[in-house]
A and B are shown apart, each in its own frame.
Chain A
Amino acid sequence: MNTPLRRLSVLILVMFFALMGAATWVQFFQASSLNADSRNVRTLYRDYGRDRGPIVVDGEPIAASEPVDDPFGYQRVYTDGPLYAPVTGWYGLYQLTGIERAAHTVLNGTDDSLLLSRIRTLFTGAEQGGGTVELTIDPAAQQAAWDALDGRRGAAVALDPETGAILAMVSRPSYDPNVLAGHSSAEVNEAYTELLEDEGDPLFNRTIGGNLYAPGSTFKLIDVAMLLETGEYEPETEIEAPTEYLLPGTQDTMLRNPGGGPCGGETVTLEYAVQESCNTPFAMLAVEHGDDALRAQAEAFGFGEPLAVPMDVTPSQFPADPDPAQTAMSAIGQFDVRATPLQMAMVSAAVANDGRLMRPYLIATERGPDLQVTSRTEPEELAQPISASTAATMTDLMVNVVANGTGAPGQISGVDVAGKTGTAETGSEEDFAPDAWFTAFAPAEDPQVVVAVVVEDGGAFGDEGTGASVAAPVARQIIQAVLDE
C-alpha cells in the first residue's frame, strides 16, 4: 500500500501548491484591482483609523481629524461645514466626495509624493500621519458669496484671472458634512437619505456639479468674442436689431428682445446690443456665421472639455448639430446650451487676463506630515481662446454694461466693474421663473477677481427676477469682499 500512499502524499502536495498559488493570485496579483473596487469599503475603513491630514483655508483647518474614543480612533470634523461643503465634500464610511476624494491619498498619507516621509516613519517608528492640503479659497470671498446667496438656490464661483486659483466656490442650499462623516452607519445612512430626498438638492455642487444651467445672455460674451475674432466687427459696428426675428425654417416662431420691445432701433451698435443685451442681433449674426463658428469659440473657452479642479467638472455643452433656428436660440444661451458657473467664470477670466485662460485649481499646496511642501500648484495656461485685443475690446464692452446698461446693480463706487447679465428661461411649463446669471470681473484695468453667479428660479423675485436684479448684487458683494482685503 505504500506506492499509493506516496502518490497520495504527492497529491496532497499538489493540492497545497494550488492553494498557495490561488492565495498568491488573490493577495498579490489581484490585490490592487480588488482594493480599488468601489464595493470595497475596507480601504475606507482602514483610513478611519488614521490621523488624516487637514484641509486648510488661509491657515485655518476647515476639515481635520480629531482623536475620539471609538474603534476608529479618529473623527473627521468640519468647521463651517455647510459653507465649505462644495469644496471639502465629506469623508464618509462608504463614500468620499470633494477634495476629500480628490486629494485622498495625500490626506491619508499614502500618496507617492509622501514616500520619503513614509520611509522616515518606518525608521523612527512613528505613526504615518496624513498630509495637509491648502486650498486657494479666500475665506472672505467665500463668506460673502455664502451670505449673499442666503435663502436662495444658486451658486457662485470666484477666480483669480491671472492664476486660475479658485477664490470662492459656494453652492446653496448646502449640507453639513459632519453628519455624513459620523461613525454610526445607521445615522449616516439616515442623514444621507434625507439629503438625497431633499427637494433643494443640497448635495449638488452647483458650481461644477452634474446639474448644468442654460447660461442665457451671459453666453453673448461668446458671441461677441466670436464676432470680434473675425476682425470684421468693432464696438461701433452697426448691426441689425429688429423687434422680432422670425426664426429661420419656422412658420411663426418669433424671437424677441428682453421685455418684448424694440432694442434701440432697427440697427444698433455692437456696444449697445451688448449693453442692453438685445436678443435679435445676436441670433441673426449667429445664423449668419453658423453654429460651427460659435461652437468653436465656445470650445476654445472650455465647453465640452473635461476638467478637474481637482474635482471633476461637468463639461459645459453646445449642441452638436443645431438647425438655424436652434443656432439662433443657442446664441442667446437657450435651446440646448448648458454651462456650469465655473465655465462662465472662465469665459470672463479669459477676457480679464488678456485672452489667456488659466487652468482653474483649488489646491494651492500639499504638505507632508512634517509640513514640508511636497507639491505646489503652478499656474498653467489652459488655452488662448481670444486675442489680447479682443480681450481689451470685450473688457470695454463689459465695463459699459455695468456702467450704462443692464449690469448697473453690479456697480461699485470707485471701481470699474466689467460684467454681463443673463436671464435664462428654464423652459419647464409650471416653472416660468428664469435662472438669473451675472458674470463679472474687477477692477477692469487690473482684474483681481472674476465671479460667476447663478440664482435659480429668479431668486426671491420669482418670474420678475433678472440677472441684473438678482445675480449682480451677489457678484458685487463677492468682488467687494476680495477688493476690500
Chain B
Amino acid sequence: MATVAPSRIRTGRAAEVWLFLLALALGIGGYALVGLNTGEALPENFGPYALTLVATAVVLHLVVRWRARHADPLLLPLALALNGIGLAMIHRIDIGLAARGQDAGFGPRQLIWTILGVTLAVLVIVVIRDHRILRRYTFTAMVAGIILLVLPMVPGLGSTINGARLWIQLGPYSFQPAELAKILLAIFFAGYLVTNRDVLTLAGPKVLGLQLPRLRDLGPLVVAWAACIGVLVVERDLGTSLLFFGLFVAMVYVATERASWIVIGLLMFAAGAVLAVSLFPHVADRFDIWLNALDPEIYNREFGGSGQVVRGLFGLALGGLMGTGWGEGFPHLVSYANSDFIVAALGEELGLTGLIAILMVYLVLAQRGIRMAIGVRDGFGKLLASGLAFTIAFQCFVVVGGVTRLIPLTGLTMPFMAAGGSSLVANWIVIGLLVRISDSSRRPAAEGRGEVVSADTAMIALSALSEEEPNDDGPRARNRSAPARVAGSAETDEDGRTEPLDRFGPDDQDDDPGTQHTEVVDRP
C-alpha cells in the first residue's frame, strides 16, 4: 500500500491574514462610505476607528498564532467582518437618528464593546488551553446560567425595557445577562449530555414507538428547561426562550442521535406556543402582526401594531436588489433600526445582494462550527461546538426570519451586528471558544513526526472501529487526573504513547474518530 509522502500540515494562518484584510476592507470601507455618502467627508473619528479595527485583527491573529496555531482560519475574520459591517451600520443609523433629533451615539459605545469582546475572546483563547477543562464546570455552569437568567428579576437590579424584563442596570450600564447564560447553558448541556447520553438514549419506557427517558435522568434538564420557560413567562422574552429551546433540542438530538427527542421537543414547543398565545396578549399580537402585517387596522394600532415590521419591509423593498448604498437609504425610519432591525437596515442600504452575502457569512461561520464538531474527537467538544454554532445560526434565523416575515417577530439580537454590548461580548466569547475547539479539531495527531497514513489504511481502521459500540465515557472522563489524553492532540505524544494506533483503544471510543486528519500510521 502506498504511503503518502509526509506533507506539511497547512494551518491556514496565511489564508487567515488575507481574510482579515478582506474583513477589514468591509468594515473600514463601509465606515468610510457612510461618511462620504452622508457628509461628503470621512467620518471625523475615521483614523482611530480604522486603527482600532486593524489592531484588533493584528492582536487576534498573533494570539491565534501563539496559542491556537491550528485554529480554523475562517472564524475570526468572519466574525470581525460582521462586527465591522455592524459598526458601520450603527454609525450610519446614528447619523440618521441625530438628523431627526433623536438619541444617537451608539457607534462609539459599540466600538468600546467590540474592544471588550475581542479582549474576552483573546482571554478565552489564552486562558483555556483545552476546551475539555470546561467540562469540569458542568453543574457550576448550570447554576451560574440560571442565576444569570433570573438576575433581571431581582428588584432594584433588573429593568424593564419595552415590556421585557431582560436587562440588569448597573449604574449607567445595562446588560442582558441572558446572552452570557446562553454560553453557560451550552457548556452545561454539553457536559451533562455527554455524560448521560447512553442513559438518555436507551433507558426508559417506550411509548408509541418513542423512546422516552427515565424521569430521574431528566432531572437537571428539566430544571434548565423550567428556567427557560420561566424566562418566557416572567421576563416576557420570547426570543431568549426560543433560543434556549432550540439550543436544547439541537444538543439533545446530537447527543442521543434519536429523532424522538426532536418529536418530543417540537410537541413541547407547540404546547408552549399555544399556551403562550392564549395566555399572553403580547405573544398573540406577534402572531397577528406576522399574519396580517399590512392590514391597515393592525398597522395603525397604537400598541402591538405592525408599524415596525412594515416599516422594515418598506426599507427592504426600497433596497431592492442592489440597495441604496451606504448612507443613502432611510434605515433610521424603523424603530430599533440599529439593534433588532439592523437586518432591515442592511437590506435597505446593501440590497438583497448584500443581505445574502451577509447571510452567507453567517452560514459559513455556523457550518465551520459544525465542521469542527465533526472533526473534534471528544464528545464534549462536539456538543459544545455544535451547540454554539447552532446558536449563531438559530439566532440569525429567528432575527432575519422575523424581519422578513418568514416567522413571527421575536426580539433577538443579530450576532456581532446589533447594537448592544451584552450580545457582542457574548458572541466574541463564543468565537473564542470555537477557536479553541477548532484548534484541537484541526490539530494533526502526528504533528512534527511526519507520520501520515494512506487513506486506505485509515478506512480499514475506521471501519473496524465503527463496529464497536461506544461506551459511556462520562465518569471516566471526569476521573482523569492527568491532562486529558485525546487522540491526535499534542498531549498524546507527551503521554508517552508512541503508537498512535493506541488511541483507538477503549479510552477513545466515546467518539467518532476525527475525519479531518487521519493520523494512523501505515505499518507494513
Contact = CB atoms under 8 A, between A and B. Distances in A.
Contact of B317 (A9, A12, A26): A26
A15 B512 CA distance: 26
Contacts of B283: none
Interface string A24-59: 111110111011010111110110010000000000
Contact of A45 (B310, B319, B333): B333
Contacts of A3: 257
B99 to A, nearest CB: 4
B315 interface: yes
Contact of B393 (A16, A26, A30): A16
Contact of B254 (A1, A35, A41, A43): A1
A2 interface: yes
B298 to A, nearest CB: 12
A125 interface: no
Q: Which of A6, A32, A71 has the most CB atoms of chain B within a 10 A radius of its CB? A: A71
A20 B359 contact: yes
B310 A13 contact: no
B411 interface: no
B148 to A, nearest CB: 26
A23 interface: yes
A22 interface: yes
Contact of A12 (B255, B352, B390, B406): B390
Contacts of A2: 374, 512, 515
B379 interface: yes
A41 B311 CA distance: 9
Nearest to A30: B317
Q: Which of A9, A25, A41, A45 has the most CB atoms of chain B within a 10 A radius of its CB? A: A9
A5 B393 CA distance: 14
Contacts of B330: 42, 45-46
Given A19-B400, A19-B404, A5 B373 contact: yes
Interface size class of B (residues with CB under 8 A): 35 or more
Interface stretch (B5-13, B121-129, B362-370, B449-457): B362-370
A23 B390 contact: no
A259 interface: no
Nearest to A9: B370
A8 B254 contact: yes
B351 interface: yes
A18 interface: yes
A8 B369 CA distance: 11
Contact of A5 (B254, B347, B356, B396): B254
A249 interface: no
Contacts of B409: none
Contacts of A25: 404
B320 A28 contact: yes
Interface in B254-271: 254-255, 257
Nearest to B296: A39
Nearest to A31: B317
Contacts of A1: 254-255, 257, 373, 379, 382-383, 511-512
Contact of B320 (A13, A20, A31, A41): A31
A5 B370 contact: yes
B299 A19 contact: no
B336 interface: no
Nearest to B394: A15
Given A12-B367, A27-B352, A19 B406 contact: yes
B313 interface: yes
B269 to A, nearest CB: 15
A71 B98 CA distance: 10
Contact of A26 (B250, B316, B333): B316
A9 B257 contact: no
A4 interface: yes
A228 to B, nearest CB: 51
A26 B405 contact: yes
Interface in B493-524: 511-512, 515
B293 to A, nearest CB: 11
B335 to A, nearest CB: 14
Contact of A18 (B318, B320, B406): B406
A250 B172 CA distance: 83
Nearest to B321: A28
A34 B317 contact: yes
Interface in B386-430: 386, 389-390, 393-394, 396-397, 400-401, 404-406
Given A5-B370, A19-B400, A27 B317 contact: yes
Given A1-B512, A30-B317, A35-B317, A16 B405 contact: no
Contact of B366 (A6, A12, A18): A12
Given A1-B257, A5-B373, A18 B401 contact: yes
Nearest to B250: A8
Contacts of A49: 328
A28 B352 contact: yes
B367 A23 contact: no
A32 B329 CA distance: 16
B248 interface: no
Given A4-B253, A19-B359, A22-B405, A46 B318 contact: yes
A23 B359 contact: yes
Contacts of A45: 330, 333
Contacts of A34: 313-314, 316-317
Contacts of B253: 4, 8
Given A1-B511, A22-B406, A23-B352, A16 B362 contact: yes
B314 A40 contact: yes
Given A12-B370, A31-B317, A23 B250 contact: no
B338 interface: no
B378 to A, nearest CB: 10
Contact of B382 (A5, A16, A42): A5
Contacts of A4: 253-254, 257
Contacts of A21: 406
Interface string A215-241: 000000000000000000000000000
B512 A27 contact: no
B349 to A, nearest CB: 12
Contacts of A9: 367, 370-371
Nearest to A44: B330
Nearest to A24: B352
B401 A19 contact: yes
Nearest to B261: A4
B138 interface: no
Contacts of A39: 296, 299, 310, 314
B339 interface: no
Nearest to B397: A15
Nearest to B390: A8
Q: Which of B389, B397, B512 has the most CB atoms of chain A within a 10 A radius of its CB? A: B397
B355 interface: yes
A70 to B, nearest CB: 8
B324 interface: yes
Nearest to B404: A22
Interface of B: 38, 99, 250, 253-255, 257, 294, 296, 299, 310, 313-321, 324, 328-330, 333, 347, 351-352, 355-356, 359-360, 362-363, 366-367, 370-371, 373-374, 379, 382-383, 386, 389-390, 393-394, 396-397, 400-401, 404-406, 511-512, 515
Interface of A: 1-6, 8-9, 12-13, 15-16, 18-28, 30-32, 34-35, 37, 39-43, 45-46, 49, 71
Given A8-B254, A16-B360, A22-B400, 16 more contacts: A1-B255, A2-B512, A4-B257, A5-B374, A8-B250, A9-B370, A16-B359, A19-B359, A20-B356, A22-B406, A23-B404, A24-B352, A27-B319, A31-B318, A39-B314, A42-B330
Please provide the 10 A-B residue pairs with the shortest distance between their CB atoms, ordered closest to farther.
A34-B317, A22-B404, A22-B406, A27-B352, A31-B317, A9-B370, A71-B99, A40-B314, A15-B397, A12-B393
19 contacts: A1-B257, A1-B373, A4-B257, A6-B374, A8-B253, A13-B367, A15-B393, A19-B397, A23-B347, A23-B352, A23-B404, A26-B347, A27-B316, A28-B352, A31-B320, A34-B317, A37-B294, A42-B315, A45-B330
